[in-house]
Amino acid sequence: MKVFIIGASGLVGSNCLKHFTEKGMECVGTYFSYEARKTVFFDTLSLDNEDNFDVTGFKPEVIVHCGALTHVDYCEEHPEESYEKTVTSTKNIIALAKELEAKLVFISTDYIFDGENGPYDEMASTNPLSVYGKHKLEAEQAVMRSDQKNIVLRITNVYGEEERGKNFVSRIIQQIFDQQKLSLRLPLDQYATPINAYDIARCLYLLLNDNKAGIYNIAGTDYMNRVQLALNILKYFPDASYELIPLSTEDIQAPAPRPLQGGLKNKKFMSEYPEFRFSTVDDYVSYKSILLEDMEE
């Protein structure tokens, strides 16, 4: 299977590129603003850009659209840019997928829900609170209207291995090993289902290999708020220097509203793959702590 992964320099895209390649798929991964290893340039907002990788010549059977503007507060304050990089770019890729007769996979979020009754299954009613959530919902609806063979993956609180180590979990671990004092002002009332990007890649590989279609919520088995998540990491590093200040979302006064009781139920995926085992935050942090200790010796 030939797979074109847009946004392969990011967390989800890079894990998909690595896992799919290891599984024998022929993959090309792209970057836009950050050139990661083993990626080629591709601008989703200008498909005629002469610097773009020749996707038509590659003739992918699947296009995985991981590229996105994910800074929720930035999106709230820059709605036009958010729309362009989330909705317009996705509509461009929908057209490209149709032209190439390729299945399209779109990466969405639990921010399409209002956080009143989470975690949410695939059939739950959507009601996004933020600009980011509204644009993600519009994009995923366009993907499913375009072709029912397409896939929408909803995910949230993703962590794991990536070249830049930008995700919340990786940043904390790296700062600890850099012997920095952590200053953590975290919401204690925002709940979600953290998931390892490698698990997302494993799930998507199965779905593609079995030619599945439709909306799938992909979530880990942990359900916790940000304070609990930080403490779950810190317990592996008893000598870490940190200040942890739990705050309410109201106290933080972020520009974008957040779903409080968020997160996802992967009911559909687990009914189809009942033997699949998701890793946990503990699995990942334990592995990283041992790995980094070995590197220091």
Express each pLDDT in 93-148 by its tens digit.
Answer: 999 999 999 999 999 999 999 999 999 999 999 999 999 999 999 999 999 999 99
Residue 230 in domain: no
How many domains does one find in the chain?
A: 1
Q: Assess if residue 201 is contained within a domain.
A: yes
**Is residue 295 very low, low, confident or very high in pLDDT (cuts 50, 70, 90)?**
low
For residue 177, what pLDDT band results from cuts at 50, 70 and 90? confident
Write out the DSSP string of 42-99: --TT-TT-TTS--HHHH--SEEEE------HHHHHH-HHHHHIIIIIHHHHHHHHHHH
Any domain includes 254: no
Query: What per-residue string of b and e applies to 142-180 under the rule 16 or more CB within 10 Å gives b?
Result: bbbebeeebbbbbbbbbbbbbeeeebbbbebbebbbeee
What's the rounded mean pLDDT across residues 34-49?
A: 94
Looking at the domain assignment, is residue 236 inside a domain?
A: no
Which of the four pLDDT bands, split at 50, 70 and 90, describes residue 190? very high
Share of residues in the chain with pLDDT > 90 (%): 88
pLDDT tens per residue, range 234-291: 999 998 999 999 999 999 999 999 999 999 999 999 999 999 999 999 999 998 888 7
State how far the Cα of 210 lies from the Cα of 151, in Å rounded to an integer. 12
Average pLDDT, the chain: 94
**SS (HEC) of 88-122:** HHHHHHHHHHHHHCCEEEEEEEHHHCCCCCCCECC
- Kindly list the distances between the CA atom of residue 104 and the CA atoms of 48, 140, 295, in Å, as whole numbers in the listed order: 19, 11, 40
Strands (E), the chain: 2-6, 26-31, 39-41, 62-65, 103-109, 151-155, 158-159, 182-187, 191-192, 195-196, 214-217, 224-225, 242-247
Q: Which domain holds residue 56?
A: 2-165+194-222+262-279
With a CB cutoff of 8 Å and minimum separation 6, the contacts of 21 are: 27
Residue 236 exposed, middle or buried by CB count within 10 Å (0-12, 13-18, 19+):
middle
Q: Is residue 184 part of a domain?
A: no
What's the CATH code of the domain at 74?
3.40.50.720
Does 144 map to a domain?
A: yes
Tokens 């030939």 identify what position? 2
Q: In terms of pTM, does the model score above 0.85?
A: yes
Compute the half-sphere exposure of residue 11: CA atoms within 13 Å on the CB side of its CA.
Answer: 23
Residue 296 binned pLDDT confidence (cut-offs 50, 70, 90): low
Dist CA 101 CA 150 (whole Å): 11
